Chain A
Amino acid sequence: MIVSVASGKGGTGKTLVATSLALSLSDNYKVQLLDCDVEEPNANILLHLAVNQSQPVYIPIPKVDETKCTYCGKCAEVCAYNGIAVLKEKVLVFPELCHGCGACSYLCPESTITEEGREMGVVERGDSGNLELIQGKINVGEAMAPPVIREVKKYIDPANIVIIDVPPGTSCPVVETVKGSDFCLLVTEPTPFGLNDLSLAVEVVRKLGMPCGVVINRVGIGGEEVERYCHREEIAILMRIPLDRKIAMFYSKGIPLVEGMPRWREDFLKLFQDIKDIIAASWVVK
């Protein structure tokens, strides 16, 4: 079972929820936590697992053998990303524009293009007891997150409970991360920013066609608009975490909520049961 923890808006508490959910469940189940926020992965700042495996992520980019090249220009013509340019007697490759689709090498009439890997990030793995962490990281200066996200997701073992920490936003890295999940948990806060970004995230989830539920963090400040929105859209509010300086303080030190305040463990187990029930109900509907 795969549960994505997403939000639209950054800084609403995705990582706090994902890590506490994973830790609570790992008492009794095998759990994989995937940190797919590969631009800024933070889950292990709370989990403190020793990384015992590290795999570079390569994107295949073209390598042109100019001794055989006829400068026909086919490669540049088929590249949708302007990643390769053919001059009179020179081929220029722009590695950071290349998506690694492979069209140029396959379609070169002289077969002069091979591919070589360009390292653009890393996938790291660590575990402790029942809990396994897989985190991706793009190298600083890299633009494209999806290739690293895809590599992180290859570690998914469906026999486990899989919790995914999703990057913020609503664009391609979010879709790449969330697609294939059984459920999407949306973490928000009761402010106009939280509401605006929640409604965008709900649109993404609906487009992907999976059930979702909401966690409202920092309850006590802001208004009732998020509650009203969820009610109107028939989205279950599965947990409310109060605005509490103590919770923020634990987070600031890298202490998971369920370790700083162990009484929350039960709430997270209940949250998981509710998620399972919603998934089961959605199967009945289907």
Chain B
Amino acid sequence: MKEVVVLSGKGGTGKTSIVASFASLAQSKVLVDCDVDAADLHLLLKPKVKEEKEFWSGRVAFIDEDKCTECGLCQELCRFGAIKDFKVDPLSCEGCGFCYQVCPVDAIAMKDSMSGHSFISETKYGYLCHARLGIAQENSGKLVALVRQNAKLIAERENLDYIITDGPPGIGCPVISSLSGASLALLVTEPTLSGIHDLERVIGVCRHFGVPVLVCVNKYDLNEENTCRIESYCGNEGIEVSARIPFDNVITEAIVQGLPVVEYSNNKVTQQIKELWQIIPAKLEK
């Protein structure tokens, strides 16, 4: 069983459109949406939720007004600025429990917080493991790890060949959690200066965690000079650029129709994505 995670650094480069297309093209796989705080893959795959679980993670401090003597020690020691006027701001509290440990009158309790839901769903393309982080919650990395674990168990149980993962943007906690231990990272970029900058950083993260990478340039003809820059940069770094997808409204039209683009159109975009998926199994065997 091999795990391909699709990342980009910069948001909005086309990760979800590509993953939904792979869902349509690949046999024997389980799909995962690791973008747990702004998940979109379900809008194209139309899952039927089979299993829903609450995700309890992290704790938040709570001050009992009746016991509090307003000595101010907790406020003075909290490094996250989470206590003001002897009240905890749950959005600022990082759950360290320092205040709970030091309160001289035991007026502070640490309460578990429900920070989201995880789902195992069925789609016409196979299983989808996804989640919804509660609004403004922490611990997205742990929820990502849980979603990946769900997918691994299904892949093992059903003897599936691939786990195909739609990753979050950025390079921080949820990206690291999506990436560590994966077989291959497919990096979807665009020929903008921001796209290139962000690609370089996400390549750095993949290297840091020892995950091999493959690059795909979306909207390549928006700025062919920049596409060449990406290709020469990748060439120098020993990274293969495996697909050039043209700038074409069919990608957005397919999203509006709620379909993977490979099912919506049969033009150059679809051909490139099909060719890209054909390359990946060979890369995974290495």
Contact = CB atoms under 8 A, between A and B. Distances in A.
Interface of A: 8-12, 15, 37, 39-40, 42, 45, 78, 80-81, 99-103, 106-107, 138, 140-145, 167-175, 179, 191-193, 196-197, 200, 203-204, 207-208, 218, 221-223, 245, 248-249, 251-254
B226 A42 contact: no
B48 interface: no
B169 A168 contact: yes
A191 B257 CA distance: 10
B77 A140 contact: no
Contact of A45 (B79, B138, B191, B194): B194
Contact of B198 (A40, A207, A223, A251): A40
Contacts of A11: 10-13, 169
B136 A207 contact: yes
25 contacts: A8-B38, A9-B12, A10-B170, A40-B201, A42-B197, A103-B97, A106-B98, A107-B102, A140-B205, A140-B208, A141-B176, A141-B204, A141-B208, A167-B170, A168-B170, A169-B169, A171-B133, A171-B137, A171-B174, A192-B256, A196-B43, A204-B136, A221-B253, A222-B255, A245-B222
A99 B96 contact: yes
A190 to B, nearest CB: 9
Contacts of B204: 140-141
B72 to A, nearest CB: 15
Contact of B223 (A78, A175, A253): A253
B136 to A, nearest CB: 5
Contact of A171 (B40, B94, B140, B226): B140
A197 B79 contact: no
Interface size class of B (residues with CB under 8 A): 35 or more
A169 B37 contact: yes
Contact of B141 (A39, A99, A103, A143): A143
A252 B97 contact: no
A192 B205 contact: no
A29 to B, nearest CB: 26
B117 to A, nearest CB: 14
Main secondary structure, interface of A, reads loop
Q: Which 3 pairs of residues, A with B, have the shortest CB-CB distance? A: A10-B11, A11-B12, A101-B96
A263 B188 CA distance: 33
Interface of B: 9-13, 16, 37-38, 40, 43, 59, 77, 79-80, 91-92, 94-98, 101-102, 133, 135-138, 140-141, 168-177, 190-195, 197-198, 201, 204-205, 208-209, 219, 222-223, 226, 247, 249, 252-253, 255-256, 258
Contacts of B197: 40, 42, 45
A262 B172 CA distance: 36
A252 B98 contact: no
Contact of A252 (B80, B175, B193): B193
B86 to A, nearest CB: 19
B252 A252 contact: no
Contacts of B247: 245, 248
Given A40-B170, A170-B133, A103 B96 contact: yes
A229 B161 CA distance: 41
A12 B40 contact: no
Contacts of B59: 80
A185 to B, nearest CB: 17
A226 to B, nearest CB: 11
B172 A142 contact: yes
Contacts of B141: 143
Contact of B171 (A40, A204, A245): A40
Contact of B173 (A103, A106, A145): A145
Given A40-B10, A203-B135, A169 B252 contact: no
Nearest to A145: B172
Nearest to A9: B38
B21 to A, nearest CB: 15
B62 to A, nearest CB: 15
A223 B255 CA distance: 11
Contact of A221 (B40, B97, B219, B249): B249
B9 A40 contact: yes
B79 A100 contact: yes
Contacts of A254: 192-194
B98 A171 contact: no
Nearest to B138: A172
A197 B205 CA distance: 26
B12 A78 contact: no
B191 A252 contact: yes
A193 B40 contact: yes
A106 B96 CA distance: 13
A48 to B, nearest CB: 10
Contact of B226 (A12, A103, A172, A252): A252
Contact of A15 (B173, B176, B194): B194
Nearest to A12: B12
B34 to A, nearest CB: 12
A245 B191 CA distance: 13
B102 A221 contact: no
B38 to A, nearest CB: 5
A171 B131 CA distance: 13
Contacts of B177: 143
A39 B201 CA distance: 9
